[in-house]
A and B are shown apart, each in its own frame.
Chain A
Amino acid sequence: MLSHHLWIFFSAMLVNNFTLVMFLGLCSFIGVTGKVSVAFRLGLADTFVLIITSISATILNKWVLVHAPYLRIIAFILVIASMVQITEMAVKKWSPTLFRELGIYLPLITTNCAILALAIFQTNRGYGFLEGVTFALGAGAGLIIALSLMASVRERLELADIPTVARGTALVLFVAGGLSLAFMGFSGLLTAQ
């Protein structure tokens, strides 16, 4: 039982890393990774929303979508949008500093495809409540790792002498490609299940 949950966790965190292997949530991966501290906190906020989404998706799947499967995408996106709104209000109340630092990227979590993808994967794989939360924790940890790694590399690149042509998104994509290549090394880690 425990090994099953550990498998889900590490699979979501390393082997199928949401950003570097599955290409989810690239907007914030490219937009917010200028500074390590901000990237790390965005990762935390993402994780929080992922966990809430996973719980909501379990509830929706169990009681609502059984009767109306064609409402799946609409129901998920509506729940995610409201959850992000609640998170935004909570962060504003409890930590105004963090709220200011994250700024516009907090409401943007709604259009972060990693969140919607989590709800869809969880449904497709038929995860229960605990499995879903473990999956969300693993995916969140993976996002934090990817965002922090990217931000660390980009902080170093600030000082590097880069040809004008290569500056901007192209360079970020090459760095992401390198990181992704490194994460390919994890693909042999989990073969059981």
Chain B
Amino acid sequence: MHDLDSLHAAPSGPSTAPPFQDFAKGLWKENPVFAQMLGMCPTMAITNSVTNALAMGLATTFVLLGSGVFVSIFRKRIANEVRITTYILIIAAFVQIADMGLEALMPVSHKALGPFIALIVANCLLLARQESFSARNSVGRSALDALGMGIGFTFGLSVVGTVREILGQGTWLGLRVMPASFEPWVIMNLPPGGFFSFGFVLLGLAWWHDRRTRRAALNLRVARPSTEPLLERAV
């Protein structure tokens, strides 16, 4: 559902925004995890520790960057009828490289992530970026977009991973942060913890958005010039 929405909402022509905007939009405004909600499976499956979240985020960023640049180089040669298959094959090739590279360089992380490295192929985020951005834009812009989206994705995973690791194990990136008397919430390490913690993160975001729009509406009604930095960002 989500991936198609974003495919249809994609702009039809090349991006006209300043290049920095191509990079920055993935960090927050169109963040893959919080705004587009693409690639939910890894968001919940491997976020039981921040280390895993970072490794997964880096692997995804690598695949995003590689396939984005590749698709962008060949964008004029890929026939329209077979473009989705071509994108998937390009993505699969880079995922295979990431899988074998991670196995050789970081065997511990590779073992912890298990089949989820290979499953990057089935992450809707990859296909959505090729279809809506790389297929229409120059190599440089595609690389910027892929980097922004990758960093945004890594950030999103780390936020959920932080919640789960602190509550589930009392540590952050393996460092002890909670007092010794803290009893770890075992549930956070189990699958339901993934659903609950991501649900709470989304709930917090929805509450924040809701409050912001209500404040902005109130502000317009009393016709007060917006001086608060929070509201300026809203515009």
Contacts and interface: CB of A to CB of B under 8 A. Distances in A.
A110 B187 CA distance: 32
Given A31-B1, A170-B199, A74 B92 contact: yes
A151 to B, nearest CB: 14
A169 B88 contact: no
Contact of A70 (B41, B88, B100): B100
A25 interface: yes
Nearest to B44: A23
Interface residues of A, number: 49
Interface string A60-80: 000000000011111001100
A72 B121 contact: no
A111 interface: yes
A23 B210 CA distance: 29
Given A113-B119, A113-B122, A177 B199 contact: yes
Contacts of B88: 77-78, 81, 110
Interface string A139-162: 000000000000000000000000
Given A124-B115, A166-B203, A112 B195 contact: no
A124 B115 CA distance: 9
B191 interface: yes
B115 A117 contact: yes
Nearest to A17: B191
B226 to A, nearest CB: 23
Contact of A173 (B41, B190, B191, B196): B196
A120 B194 CA distance: 23
Given A165-B203, A173-B199, A74 B93 contact: yes
B119 A20 contact: no
B18 interface: no
A23 B121 contact: no
A116 B122 contact: yes
Given A170-B206, A173-B196, A184-B191, A31 B92 contact: no
Majority secondary structure of chain B interface residues (helix, strand, loop or mixed): helix
A177 B121 CA distance: 25
Interface residues of B, number: 42
Given A74-B89, A124-B115, A27 B206 contact: no
Interface in A72-112: 72-74, 77-78, 81, 104-105, 108, 110-112
B207 interface: yes
Contact of B206 (A20, A116, A121, A166): A166
A120 B120 CA distance: 13
B4 interface: yes
Interface in B17-65: 37, 40-41, 44-45
A120 B115 contact: yes
Contact of B1 (A20, A30, A116): A30
Contact of A25 (B2, B41, B127, B191): B41
6 contacts: A30-B1, A73-B99, A78-B92, A111-B3, A113-B119, A174-B196
9 interchain residue pairs of minimum CB distance: A31-B1, A177-B195, A173-B199, A23-B45, A113-B122, A170-B202, A180-B192, A177-B196, A181-B192
Given A21-B191, A28-B1, A121-B115, 20 more contacts: A22-B45, A23-B44, A26-B40, A26-B44, A27-B40, A30-B2, A30-B40, A31-B1, A73-B121, A74-B96, A78-B92, A105-B1, A112-B122, A113-B119, A113-B122, A116-B122, A165-B203, A177-B196, A180-B195, A184-B190
Interface of B: 1-4, 37, 40-41, 44-45, 85, 88-89, 92-93, 95-96, 99-100, 115, 118-119, 121-124, 127, 187, 190-196, 198-200, 202-203, 206-207, 210
